[in-house]
Structures are given as C-alpha cells and as structure tokens.
Chains A and B, each alone.
Chain A
Amino acid sequence: MSSRRSSRGSISEEEINELISKLQSLLPNSRRRGSSQASTTKLLKETCNYIKSLHREVDDLSDRLSDLMATMDHNSPGAEIIRSILRS
C-alpha cells in the first residue's frame, strides 16, 4: 500500500509541467501563447486540433504520392530521362 502510494506520488507537478512545456514546443505558433500552467486546457485543445490536421496532411500526402507513382508509367520527357539513366 505504501509502496503503491509512493510510486504514484513520485509523478510530481514539475514532471507534469515539463511534459506540458515539451508538448507546447511541438505545436506550431506555440511561442505566442501565455504560460503553460494558465492555459493547459487551451493547449490540450490545440493538441487535439493539431493531431487532426496532421492526420489530414498525412492522408493528403499519401494520396499525392500514390498519384505521382501512377503517373510515372506515362510517357514523358522526365520518365524518358530516368529510363535513359537506368538503361546505362
């Protein structure tokens, strides 16, 4: 019981603040915000939005990359250049 309590108590306020500031540094435009302690709620909301935007960006880039891979099959000067290089 005491060991369980002490292990829980070892996670201190400083560690939480450190993690929050680290999370803040990952987000874009983080330097404009106020102190992390005052705006933890806003920070978590921003993190939620940022993760969603990253999801969208990853999906967009994946689609774009798939399109590019598909267009490589077509005949074009660039594809011809690559084929010439690979041929030699």
Chain B
Amino acid sequence: MAGFSHLPQQMEHGLITNNGFLFCHGSHGGAATTTAPAIPEDASMETSSVVLDTSPQDKKRKPREEDTASLNSAHSKEAKENGRKRGGKKHSRDQMEEEAPQGFIHVRARRGQATDSHSLAERVRRERISERMRMLQALVPGCDKVTGKALILDEIINYVQSLQNQVEFLSMRIASLSPVLYGFGIDSDAFSDHSQKMEGMFHEAVAIPASVLNRGSSPAQSHAIMDTSNTSPTPYTLQVQGGSNNNSLSQDNGSYIMQTVGEPRQELFNQVVLNNYMCSFQ
C-alpha cells in the first residue's frame, strides 16, 4: 500500500461508487477520517461533495440513518441491501417475468399471489409461449444452448432470414437454367414469380435477353416472341404487349428494365461487373 497516497482521482471516484455510504460515514461520523489519516482531508471533502451532488435528497435523513447504522452497521447494511434488492425486483418484475417465466411462476405461487384467475390465465399464456419457444429452439440450429427470450428471438429472426435468402437464391439458379433448357415456360406461374425476383439483379449476362423476353408471359406467347426475335432486330417492343397481363407494378418495372437494357448497354454491363465485385466482397 505504498502508493495509496498517489491514488488517482478516478480510483477514488470508483471507490465512492462502490463504498459511497462508507464515505458518508467518514464525513459525518468522523471515525473513518480519524482512524485513516492517510486520506487527505481536501480529497475526502471533494469526494463527499461528489456524494452530496449525486444524492441531495438523502442528505437530510442521513444523520439519523448513520447513527442507527453506526450502532449496528453490519446488520442494518444487510437489511437495507435486502430492502433495496426487493424494491428493485418489484420495479423490474415485469421484465424478469418476460425473461424467466418458469422460475417466476414458482416464486409467485410460493408467495400466495397467483391464486386469482388473472394470474392463472397469465401463467397459462406464459407456459404456452415457453412451449412454442422450445419448439422453435428445436427447429433452429445453434439455438439449443441459448437462454433468454430476446436472444432466442434474435436467433429465430436470423434463421428465418437466412432461409428466405436460400429459397431466393435457389429460385434464381433454377430460373436462370430452366428457360434456356426447357424451351420456355414449363411452370409459368412459378417462373413468373421467380423472374420477378430477378428484376434488377442480372447475374447471368447471357441469360439477360431470354429472361427479359420471357418475363410474365404464357408459354404460347413466349414461343411467338422467340420466333420473332430470330428475325426482328428489336424484340423488346413486344415485351410491353406481353407484360400487359401483369399488374401495374411489374409493368413499371418492365418498362424501366427495357429502358436500361435497350440503350446504355455498356452502362448495364458495367453495373453487372460492379455487382459481381460487390457480391464477391460480401
């Protein structure tokens, strides 16, 4: 303890937060200051003033409290801590119940408060939620060890999003393969859904014209479009007619894509290159 007198102020402040009550003892009772002369007087005054600033309302009641505490400091300290803990528990009871419903149900039942119908209904509801959470924990990989409702929900959200991304990716892979192979439109309904997802995401440079041509059209129409695309140099004008079956949103998207595909081709391919680079970094 040679370096006690050279303690930095931060350390003293930390002690205040840990033993604030003790320093109040020292400033008022004087026992601590007389028995510990190593603490500088001005420093203790500073720290006491800090305590004063943090808890001004308690100041008036402190003399009585300190006297009673000085008589039975250990016991009263324990009692006050228990009182504070109980008060804190009461304040954060709702939060605790949401986090650990099983344990708290037992506690409340022991106190004899969970006998009315409201508490029973609440208990049933929480048990049902816990059951569902356990079912979900079984479904989500890496979620078995996790405790706490918020963490479980977070894992579930991440897993659902990853599954959705997986479905989308697989759909895009299939959509990029099937139109060229199957001569357009084996499953037109599903394909139109998948190709709508492909809008704005040109991963297959070769498949761009085919997917754009085939978007949202029935097999017969797509065959006709394919036939005309062999002869006419501008097959994209037919897309407007073919897209009339879709809703207005897809029409708007279709016209936008036509604009980007038709004229600034270099810009489009530059975007494809940049997209690929960005995807490789993610």
Contact = CB atoms under 8 A, between A and B. Distances in A.
Interface of A: 5, 8-9, 11-13, 15-16, 19-20, 22-23, 26-27, 40-41, 44-45, 47-48, 50-52, 54-55, 57-58, 61-62, 64-65, 68-69, 71-72, 76-79, 81-82, 85
B40 to A, nearest CB: 30
Given A51-B140, A51-B163, A72-B181, A15 B150 contact: yes
B43 interface: no
**Top 5 A-B pairs ranked by shortest CB distance?**
A44-B132, A61-B170, A19-B153, A54-B163, A9-B92
B19 to A, nearest CB: 14
Nearest to B154: A19
A73 B139 CA distance: 37
B148 A16 contact: no
B170 A41 contact: no
Contacts of B133: 44
B87 to A, nearest CB: 12
Contact of A61 (B98, B161, B174, B181): B174
Given A12-B95, A13-B95, A51-B136, A40 B129 contact: yes
A60 B222 CA distance: 26
Interface string B244-264: 000000000000000000000
Given A11-B149, A13-B94, A13-B95, 13 more contacts: A5-B88, A9-B95, A11-B150, A16-B150, A22-B157, A41-B129, A47-B160, A50-B160, A64-B174, A65-B174, A81-B180, A82-B180, A85-B206
Interface residues of B, number: 41
A22 B158 CA distance: 11
A9 to B, nearest CB: 4
Given A19-B153, A26-B161, A58-B167, A48 B136 contact: yes
19 contacts: A9-B88, A9-B92, A13-B94, A16-B149, A16-B150, A19-B150, A19-B154, A20-B153, A26-B161, A41-B125, A44-B129, A50-B160, A51-B139, A54-B164, A54-B167, A61-B167, A65-B177, A68-B177, A78-B181
